[in-house]
Structure 1
Amino acid sequence: MKKLSARRRHPLAAFVVLLIALAATGVLFTAFAPTKEARADETAQSLAIDEGKKLYAVGCASCHGTGGQGTTDGPSLVGVGAASVDFQVGTGRMPAQQPGAQVPKKKNIYSQAEIDQLAAYISSLGAGPNVPTDEQLDTEGADLAKGGDLFRTNCAQCHNFTGKGGALTHGKYAPDLEGVSAKHIYEAMQTGPQNMPSFPDTTLSEQNKKDIIAYLNEVNGDESKSPGGLELGGLGPVSEGLFGWIFGLGGLIAVAVWVAARTAKAKRS
């Protein structure tokens, strides 16, 4: 104890302690400081948010509010996430041309880079669903039969059993899904745009979404042909049954009348 006390009183003791503390600080900083790549990512994200805020102020703030809080002309965007922005802006639905029962799809006016910047800014307002990754959109090995069952159970009542779309109430409609990209279908299931309910992973898992997308690609693909011939647009049994009654039964009646007329003419002769 006497030796330890004597060392504490040594003139260089404070200097040695300071050196040890500085060395420990340097080691900890090296171990826990962000890497150059992480700092670069943070800088790029910050720049994207700044650019997205500028785009938002020009094209979106008049309806959704200066801070995304929403107005009487547009809903709040806090917490909608990047996936919602990518879907709405990427399909041209936003910015909307005019108010109405439903905003239609149209040619988008932003590049993908600008859409990403808008999505980064909206995401900074509150956490929400992210844009799906390439892995989430990869349908290799997906179960087409399972996808068909899931689509008919959850989607066909509005979109028709092959995704051809259909009318809803008060001027609303379920759009045709033919030609829609896998990314936008996935994002629609995640976010539930307009009249559509959302299907988060707790309702439809990532694999379920892949199965549904694979099913739609199969029934609407270029090589998808109806084995029965004319598919009548895949509009379903009601329209196809009506077609059968009008043209099928009508044709039989016409043939019967023709045969009867020929028979009567033959008898008169």
Structure 2
Amino acid sequence: MRLLITNDDGVHAKGIHALCKELEKYHDIIIVAPDDQRSATSHSITIAKPLIVKEVELPDIKSKAYSVSGTPADCVRVATDQIIKDKVDMVVSGINIGYNLGTDILYSGTVSAAVEATLCSVPAIAVSTESSAEDYVYENAAKYIKKVIEVAVSNKLHEDIVLNVNVPPIKDEDIKGIKVCKIGKLQFHHYYKETGKEQENLVYKLEGERVVNHVEETDSYYVDNGYVTVTPLHYDLTNFNILKDVGKWF
């Protein structure tokens, strides 16, 4: 299969390196990823300035790689439109350095790159693990994605579906299995801390912590209990439960 590999941590990030090293053993891959860190860019795209695309070499990776001076969604768009001339069978985004659980997916550049693929009629997988994970965890996550790809292909994953995968930062023998589950709800205790002044302008830095609501049968619950989680996502955000009710309002 021909796979497009991307991420939001940048083309030189350790997560994408581990993913490419594993997947190029079995598939024809091409890497198109941001030239720098683009975490939490969600589904933004670059409109006002041109994109700079450069071919780069990645250590121990044989496949072609390109950096893009834009967002993760930009990478998928320019890759499928210009860089890759043949059909892309699947897009894999990650391995993200940090979970994408619950409502985090709304901010995630990793997940948004995968969603952009489905807008281009290409099925996609997004994969993440805990941000402080050791190298072996990324290698382990890459092996699980190989399995997820095989299962997705054999079951004809629809071209408008993203499989959002999170892998706990534990050894393979400690992983209890794979759970298909819904997203949970994450809350953030945010605050902006004043860090000084710059030319008489106030400077604020975002600080705070994430508070996980461990509701059973959700992604955050299962990943904390030693499971790899898989959540199918779709870009249609319509709330069909109240669609008719809101229609009556107007």
With the length of structure 2 as denominator, give the TM-score of the two structures.
Answer: 0.29
Instruction: Please identify the structure whose Cα radius of gyration is greater.
Output: 1
**Going by fraction, where is helix more abundant, 1 or 2?**
1
**Going by fraction, where is strand more abundant, 1 or 2?**
2
Higher RCO (C-alpha under 8 Å, 6+ residues apart): 2
With the length of structure 1 as denominator, give the TM-score of the two structures.
Answer: 0.27
